[in-house]
A and B are shown apart, each in its own frame.
Chain A
């Protein structure tokens, strides 16, 4: 148990050249890449220091805590240009093709390292002992996905990353909550502030460059399960939007924050469907047994959504939800995934041993990454070869690594043909704030990179950060805020608790303060009811959004009265501060984009049309923490990769003039 909270924490000040904030896949990738460049710089007489700071323990922190059953981004025999085509088609045409291409050309090397470090990768018959690097053929569940025995995926990667960076350069159980600008140059960062969740210590770091890689934003919306089930989020429940909030707070430009992700997954347990659809070839149906995707496909013509659907097998992910939502809305749910038929078909030509192996694969798919889904099956007495399961679209999530690409606007690679001027500004992976770098879920407009791509973006960012530090060797960062004020701000919830706790007989019910738990529930209610949550069937409009903003402003004001009775609650308090700002960014972006670009993720009922003429562009924003105002703008989208014949009609359409 952590020590009891006091209102006078010790202050620890530290300087490092590079601070990695976060300990997930992207952070581990940065640690792995940075060490080598630091050694090369040392050979030239420059000593660079680096540190990783994780609010948890690196071995199991981040989205890969449970493991994964597949690596969803591996080129193999494919060309990175086709990867770009796949990603842009899935994300309704608008992506940073330079960033996506960069992941594509660099990701395989990272996966080869995972295998070398010990990650078991399923191979085709005959290639069992042949590494991918030497041409061993992986078992693919889809064109870009390879199957793995991934229960220990994070543990293995963390092991290598920790050795790379050096255990003495890792600080665990410290939650960084604020970035701090430089006193003499407001266009850049000078440091960050955070606190230990084990001891009463505030940590003030000064640095030249940081990697802000704290994952996405989860439980910003009221989830479908609301008791203990609140914890069963699809993405890790500890991702609090810290990446987006801390970046927005210092004025870094965000992009596509409207592009939430609503996964359709096994209901309640949120187990993955990828292997079932792609590998086992299962089909979904409504309660009448109808193949509703086929039945509803032509309805995509309405509002022009069909521009991003070539066929039943190839369409933007959100459109799959859209076809399903029609069934739910019109009362033909539940939606089922026909696992028994899929297994029976596969088993037709199998020996009993092979059938057993198939069953094990089906269970491993969940056990490697979403154990709760097995709990659902076991508790409901569902065996997949005997009984169908329900699938359902979940509550919305914000993340940059998946089939949703909300995040920070970053400087891209300069060496690709056709990159426009506004896609890069000197330091790869840097935001519009000097010294603020990001990777993984933090990078916007660069979706479908998943775990391996996030690790790879971490590696890419490491190079950018080392370059930045070497270019600024003689510069000394100076915080533009007083340490005492930072300490008071970080510990404010503790002060509120100590000042108010004896006013009432139940510390949870006091008119002068609010618990972090209630702040989170209130945020979730606002977002659900007004910003296209599940209770609205993902629908919103201008009026609802204005109501949302009014309530979000009041909620933000009330966070000044959040109380924390221990360090655990202080952690929760700041996580919710981050959630609120990330949610607000999401709301503002949805408000600004006057079209329904992502039907199935959300609908602007006042702008139901997909409008490539006016809105085939990025929506970017900056936040001013002093005025509390958002500024939004359109940014020109520029394609890099030629259009192939197999792509949807919308892909060939030019970007909008902005």
Chain B
């Protein structure tokens, strides 16, 4: 199935109020099977609707135990391949395993600032309320140069 959980690696995010995969899935797919009544594996996460999985990898990237992988859509992609990331704050490493055994590895930057450090307003001006009605500016007053001669009307 698209995103799936390795039984032996998942610890159900025991120390947390909500399992991280359950927290992050944009389509409400990942769920913790608390009593094991659904999967037979108590306190482990699972993907409850694989045919709705976009393979966005949000859960894969966030799992602190690296317990989640993706088996690409079984009705579309031949078996034996895997695309697996390790996401570390400011960079991401990808391991791609082909069905024929070829392996490719890549590493890309993901952010130039440490996680959590984004400052929305550092160094930005305050909004000038007198210009609330002025469509030519947003609060930053950083509007692009505009060649007004390009308009049909004056």
User: What is the interface of chain A, defined by CB distance below 8 A to chain B?
Assistant: 1-2, 32-33, 35-37, 39-41, 43-44, 55-57, 59-62, 65-66, 75, 79-82, 102, 104-109, 112-113, 115-120, 149, 151-152, 155-156, 159-161, 163-164, 173, 197, 225-233, 236-238, 268, 360, 363-364, 367-368, 371-372, 374-381, 383, 413-418, 428, 459-460, 463, 466-467, 470, 568, 571, 639-642
B83 interface residue per 8 A CB criterion: yes
Majority SS at the chain A contact face: helix
Give me the 4 closest cross-chain CB pairs, A-B, nearest first.
A418-B153, A227-B75, A81-B150, A118-B113
Once A41-B129, A232-B73, A568-B28 are accepted as A-B contacts, the answer to whether A163 and B110 lie under 8 Å apart by CB is no
Q: Flag if B75 contacts A152 (CB, 8 Å).
A: no
B83 contacts A36, CB within 8 Å? no
A37 to B141: give the CA distance in the assembly, Å. Answer: 13
Within 8 A of A (CB), among B37-69: 48-58
A61 CB contact (under 8 Å) in B26, B49, B126, B151 = B26
CB distance from B46 to the nearest CB of A (A): 10
CB < 8 Å neighbour of A104 from B24, B73, B136, B144: B144
| Contact of B145 with A79 in the complex, beta carbons under 8 Å | yes
Query: Which B residues are CB-close (under 8 A) to A375?
Result: 55, 70, 72-73, 77, 81-83
Complexed CA–CA distance, A568 and B38 (Å)? 14
Residue B8 CB within 8 A of the other chain: no
B129 touches A227 (CB 8 A): no
- When C-beta atoms are compared, the residue in chain B nearest to A41 turns out to be B129
A1 to chain B, nearest CB (A): 5
**Distance between B1 CB and nearest chain A CB, rounded to angstroms:** 6
Contacts A118-B112, A160-B118, A371-B83 given; does A65 touch B106 at CB 8 Å: no
Interface residue from A1, A106, A113, A416 paired with B144 (Cβ < 8 Å): A106
Give 26 pairs: A residue, B residue, CB < 8 Å, sorted on A.
A40-B139, A56-B27, A56-B28, A60-B26, A60-B58, A65-B58, A79-B146, A109-B142, A119-B111, A151-B87, A151-B110, A155-B111, A164-B121, A227-B51, A228-B2, A228-B53, A228-B73, A231-B73, A268-B77, A364-B108, A371-B70, A374-B96, A375-B72, A375-B81, A378-B83, A642-B151
Q: Please, how many angstroms separate the alpha-carbon atoms of A173 and B129 in the complex?
A: 34
**Complex contact B26–A57 (CB within 8 A):** yes
**Docked pose: A227 CA to B53 CA in angstroms:** 11
Contacts A36-B139, A112-B142, A367-B108; A117 near B54 (Cβ below 8 A): no
**In the complex, how many angstroms separate the beta carbon of A507 from the nearest chain B beta carbon?**
15
- Are A379 and B77 neighbours in the complex by a CB distance under 8 Å? yes
User: B15: which A residues are within 8 A, CB to CB?
Assistant: none
With beta carbons under 8 angstroms apart, the residue of B52, B79, B120 that contacts A379 is B79
Contact among B76, B120, B148 for A32, CB-based, below 8 A? B120
Interchain CB contact under 8 A, A414 and B135: yes
Determine whether the beta carbon of A463 is less than 8 Å from that of B24: no
Q: Which residues of B contact A379 (CB under 8 A)?
A: 72, 77-81, 98-99
**Interchain nearest-CB distance for B93 vs A (Å):** 10
- CB neighbours (8 Å) of B127 from chain A are 36-37, 39-40
Instruction: Name B94-116 residues within 8 Å CB distance of A.
Output: 94, 96-100, 102, 104, 106, 108-113, 115-116
Complex interface: chain B residues within 8 A of A268 (CB): 76-77
Q: Are B73 and A417 in contact (CB under 8 A)?
A: no
Nearest CB in chain B: distance from A176 CB, A: 15
A608: shortest Cβ distance to chain B, in Å?
32
| B7 interface residue per 8 A CB criterion | no
Interface contact A642-B75, CB-CB below 8 Å = no
In the bound complex, do residue A149 and residue B144 qualify as a contact, i.e. CB atoms below 8 Å apart? no
A99 to chain B, nearest CB (A): 11
The answer, among A1, A197, A232, for a CB contact under 8 Å with B54, is A232
- B77 engages A79 (CB within 8 Å): no
**A32–B119 CA distance with the chains assembled, in angstroms:** 11
B151 and A105 form a contact (CB under 8 A)? no
Q: Tell whether, in the assembled complex, residue A39 and residue B126 are in contact, meaning their CB atoms are under 8 Å apart.
A: yes
Decide: A467 and B120 in contact? CB cutoff 8 A: no
**Complex CA distance for A62 and B24, rounded to whole angstroms:** 12
Query: Are A40 and B148 touching (Cβ within 8 A)?
Result: no
Residue pair A65, B54 in contact (C-beta under 8 Å): yes
**Cβ B106 vs Cβ A363 within 8 A:** yes
Query: Which residues of A sit under 8 angstroms from B138, Cβ to Cβ?
Result: 33, 106, 109, 459-460, 463
B13 at interface, CB cutoff 8 A: no
- A198: nearest chain-B partner, CB-CB: B18
Check B75 against A229 for contact (C-beta < 8 Å).
Answer: yes
Closest-by-CB residue of B relative to A43 is: B129
- A sample of 8 more A-B contacts (CB under 8 A), given A268-B77, A379-B79, is A37-B127, A75-B144, A80-B144, A155-B111, A161-B120, A236-B27, A368-B108, A371-B56
Q: Are B118 and A417 in contact (CB-based, < 8 A)?
A: no
Chain B residues lying within 8 Å of A374, measured Cβ to Cβ, are 83, 94, 96
Q: Are A225 and B73 in contact (CB under 8 A)?
A: yes
Chain A residues positioned under 8 Å from B139 (CB to CB): 33, 36-37, 40
> Given A231-B51, A367-B108, A568-B28, are A378 and B96 also a contact pair (CB < 8 Å)?
yes
A383: chain B residues at CB < 8 Å are 102
Contacting pair A108 B144 (CB below 8 A)? yes
Please, which residues of chain B bring their CB within 8 A of the CB of A227?
Answer: 51, 73-76
Our pick among B77, B121, B135 for the contact of A413 (Cβ within 8 Å) is B135
User: Which chain A residues border B23 with CB–CB below 8 Å?
Assistant: 57
Chain B residues whose C-beta falls within 8 Å of the C-beta of A109 in the assembled complex: 138, 140, 142-144
User: How many angstroms between the C-alpha atoms of A112 and B138 in the bound complex?
Assistant: 14
Smallest beta-carbon distance B43→chain A, Å: 11
Docked-complex contact B96 and A363, CB < 8 angstroms: yes
A460 to B143, CA, bound (A): 12
- A2 vs B51: C-alpha distance in the bound complex, in angstroms? 20
CB pair B112–A641 under 8 Å, yes or no, is no
B5 CB within 8 Å of chain A:
no
A164 touching B33, Cβ below 8 Å: no
**How many angstroms from the CA of A113 to the CA of B87 in the assembled complex?**
23
Chain B: minimal CB distance from A38 (Å): 9
* In-complex Cβ contact of B72 among A173, A376, A571, A642 (8 A): A376
A32-B122 Cα distance, complex, nearest whole Å: 12
**Of the candidates B27, B73, B102, which one forms a contact with A229 in the assembled complex, judged by CB atoms under 8 Å apart?**
B73
Whether A81 pairs with B136 at a CB distance below 8 angstroms is no
B76 CB to nearest chain A CB (Å): 4
In the bound complex, residues from chain B placing their C-beta under 8 Å from that of A156 are 111, 113, 118
CB distance from B7 to the nearest CB of A (A): 17
Query: Are B76 and A149 in contact, CB atoms less than 8 angstroms apart?
Result: no
Residue in B54, B100, B132 whose beta carbon sits within 8 Å of that of A37 in the complex: B132
How far, in angstroms, from A285 to B140 measured CA to CA in the complex?
A: 47
A231 touches B55 (CB 8 A): yes
Q: Is the CB of B144 within 8 A of A376?
A: no
Knowing A163-B120, A230-B51, the reply to whether A463 touches B28 (Cβ < 8 A) is: no
List the B side residues contacting A35 at CB < 8 Å.
120-121
Q: A236 — which chain B residues lie within 8 A by C-beta?
A: 26-27, 54, 56
Bound complex: CA A102 to CA B134 (Å):
12
CA distance A65 to B57 in the complex (A): 9
Q: Are A66's CB and B73's CB within 8 A? A: no
Contact assessment for B77 and A376 in the assembled complex, using a CB-CB cutoff below 8 Å: yes
Docked Cα-Cα span, A156 to B117, in Å, equals: 9
B104 to chain A, nearest CB (A): 7
Would you call B86 an interface residue if the criterion is a C-beta within 8 Å of the partner chain's C-beta atoms?
no
Who on chain A is nearest to B101 by CB? Answer: A381
Closest-CB distance, A422 to chain B (whole angstroms): 15
